Structure 1
Amino acid sequence: MEIRDLEFRGIKIEHLGMYFEELGAKQVTDKFPYIYEAENWRGYILSEEEISFTSIFKVNTVKVRFCANEAQTLDELIKNYRYKTTRIGG
């Protein structure tokens, strides 16, 4: 089993879960850790915290775990998931 953990900042948990579903997973749990299962992989939303850059500027940080049967499947999953989380700033 291949496993990789990533951290996402400034993205709502609801959106992160929706991205797993858009990639073909079904939600299994409705509390931490949120688990999403597909045929050859699993996604976990492990935790959410708030971090402060200044006394006013705060964002959420969410830890997400990706698990797959094969390294190639894991790499493809993360590539597709990262594409969905890409934000273009201005």
Structure 2
Amino acid sequence: MPHRDLEFRGISKEHLGMYFEELGARRITDSFPFIYSADSWEGQVLSEMEIFFTKIFKVNAIQIRICANDENALDDLIKKYRYKTTRVGG
């Protein structure tokens, strides 16, 4: 099953999991790795860590994995997921 690993910074693991659910998956596990399963794909929230840019400025970094039945489905799913994670600054 093709898969791709991605990293998101500054978005909570709860929101990242909610985006999997909005795309049609249901949560299978209650601890790391959080696994979300749908008919033809699976999303996983693998880990979370804090990255310090200065002594007081830190941000979370979350690793996720998205798996799908084929490359086309994977590309489409990642496109939809990235749309949900888009943040526009002002």
Q: How far does residue 56 in structure 1 lie from its aligned partner after superposition?
A: 1.2
Q: Specify the code of the residue in structure 2 equivalent to 1:53.
A: F
Aligned partner of 1:44 in structure 2 is 44
Secondary structure, aligned partner of 2:30: coil
Taking the aligned partners of 2:20 and 2:49, their CA distance within structure 1 comes to 20
Aligned partner of 1:7 in structure 2 is 7
Gaps of 5+ in 1: none
Gaps of 5+ in 2: none
Instruction: Report the TM-score, using the length of structure 2 for normalisation.
Output: 0.98
Taking the aligned partners of 1:57 and 1:11, their CA distance within structure 2 comes to 15
Aligned residues: 90
Taking the aligned partners of 1:70 and 1:64, their CA distance within structure 2 comes to 18
Matches within 5 A, 1:1-90: 1-90=1-90
Structure 1 runs of 4+ aligned residues shifted over 4 Å read none
CA RMSD of aligned residues (A): 0.4
Q: Specify the code of the residue in structure 1 equivalent to 2:83.
A: Y
Amino-acid identity (%): 67
1:25-72: per-residue Cα shift (whole Å, max 9, x none)?
000000000000001000000000000111111000000000011101
